[in-house]
Amino acid sequence: MVTDCGHCPLRKRDVFEPLTDDEVAFMRRFKVGELKIDPGTTVLMEGSNSPQLFSVLSGLGLRYKLLPNGRRQVVNFVFPGCFLGLQAGVMGEMKHSVEASSAMVLCVFDRASLWNFFKSQPTRAYDLTWLAAMEEHFMGEALTSIGQMNAVQRMCWGLLRYAARCTDLGINDGDHYPFPFTQQDLADALGLSLVHTNKTLMKLRERGMLSLSDGVLILHRPEEMQEQSMLPVTSPARRPLI
């Protein structure tokens, strides 16, 4: 059973801009299927030139780059509403990999018809550019965080930012946030070693700021975390959904 674009459960959330009927019809044609994947599945590989593009309907994942020496940098978290494969779509190949951390459901699109966005759906093309600019923004924030902040600050900022994105999507339960990631994932995202990530987490736990276990993150004192983190964490306004 494939979700119809006209009844997209994601688009009902008011963080996402509504579409005209015409646009919905276009998306229906653009969508070629749906993909359900297990945790750990690689969706896109760095260097690959996937014939398919994806939009995340549900589930959480990671974007990351691998280094020749085996190290890994997580460049962003993947949330419902993320569009995957734009780089391959326009630049010819992915510059990072994408992996599912929980079960995920993806809308599948045909890469070859990406050009139709630009040719016949200028508002949708504009939305694509919007999303690319958004990714750039997220990465700039992460870069600033890793480049200028210490372990505690990075972790506060990173988890607040994560929680803010969850809240936008309504996938949290009050101050409880789904967190299907390992400490190694978190370490790779923050540019810290696993051990130091663990110790930093402990420090924040002891301060009563957060809990993290069994795939659930709880933020007990977001205000204090915000003070720690230097970079203000703000939710962007309403955004497009591809």
Partner DNA sequence: CGGAAGCTTGACGTCTATCAAGATGTGTGG
Partner DNA sequence: CCACACATCTTGATAGACGTCAAGCTTCCG
Residues near DNA (CB under 7 A)? 150-152, 182-184, 191-202, 213
170: number of Cβ within 10 Å: 12
Residue number, 28 or 238, with CB nearest to its own copies: 238
Three-state SS at 16 = strand
Chain centre distance of CA 212: 19
Nearest to 5 by CA among 189, 183, 16: 16
- Report the partner that residue 118 touches, choosing among DNA, its own copies, none (CB closer than 5 to 8 A by kind): its own copies
- Report the partner that residue 202 touches, choosing among its own copies, DNA, none (CB closer than 5 to 8 A by kind): DNA
Residue number, 9 or 51, with CB nearest to its own copies: 51
Radius of gyration of the chain (CA): 18
Nearest to 50 by CA among 11, 116, 108: 108
CB of 166 to DNA, least distance (A): 18
- CA distance linking residue 9 with residue 166, whole number of Å: 16
CB of 36 to its own copies, least distance (A): 27
- Report the partner that residue 195 touches, choosing among DNA, its own copies, none (CB closer than 5 to 8 A by kind): DNA
CB of 190 to DNA, least distance (A): 8
CB of 99 to DNA, least distance (A): 12
Instruction: Give me the residues that bind its own copies (CB under 8 A), please.
Output: 65, 67-69, 71-73, 75, 86-87, 90-92, 95-96, 115, 118-119, 122-123, 125-126, 128-130, 132-137, 139-144, 146-148, 188, 190-191, 230-232, 236-237
CA 162, 222, 201: angle at the middle one, nearest 5? 70
Which amino acid is located at 199 in the chain? K
Residue number, 25 or 195, with CB nearest to DNA: 195
CA 138, 140, 146: angle at the middle one, nearest 5? 100
CB of 235 to its own copies, least distance (A): 13
Do 67 and 126 form a contact (C-beta atoms < 8 A)? Answer: no
